[in-house]
């Protein structure tokens, strides 16, 4: 799947079949369903990529303290760009 195909799938009512679960979380976030995305991020706490996603989602929520905690858990720097830029970085990483 390409980035263009993934972003086009946001027009659908369901995520594409057989995509990685972290990408599914970003699909839900892209649709405005933070709760579904957050549930996925929490499902494997302690796993670096899930913790990284978790950090982004708390940044979306506006909880910068909690986001900082999850960035540290993921061993990642706090993202300095926009939320949209971070979403794209993560989508590309998980594709």
* pLDDT (0 to 100) of residue 48: 98
* pLDDT (0 to 100) of residue 10: 98
Q: Which pLDDT tens digit goes with each residue over 20-61?
A: 999 999 999 999 999 999 999 999 999 999 999 999 999 999
Domain boundaries, the chain: 3-94
Q: Which pLDDT tens digit goes with each residue over 7-27?
A: 999 999 999 999 999 999 999
To the nearest 10 degrees (0 to 180), the angle between helices 48-61 and 83-94 is 160
Rg of the chain in Å (alpha carbons): 12
- The stretch 72-95 carries a mean pLDDT of 97
């Amino acid at each position: 799947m390409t980035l263009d195909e993934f972003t086009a799938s946001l027009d659908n009512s369901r995520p594409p079949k057989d995509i990685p679960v972290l990408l599914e979380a970003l699909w839900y976030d892209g649709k405005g369903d933070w709760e579904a995305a957050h549930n996925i991020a929490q499902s494997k706490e302690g796993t670096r990529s899930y913790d990284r996603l978790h950090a982004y989602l708390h940044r979306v929520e506006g909880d910068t303290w909690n986001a900082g905690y999850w960035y540290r858990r993921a061993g990642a720097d706090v993202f300095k760009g926009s939320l949209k830029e971070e979403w794209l970085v993560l989508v590309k990483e998980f594709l």
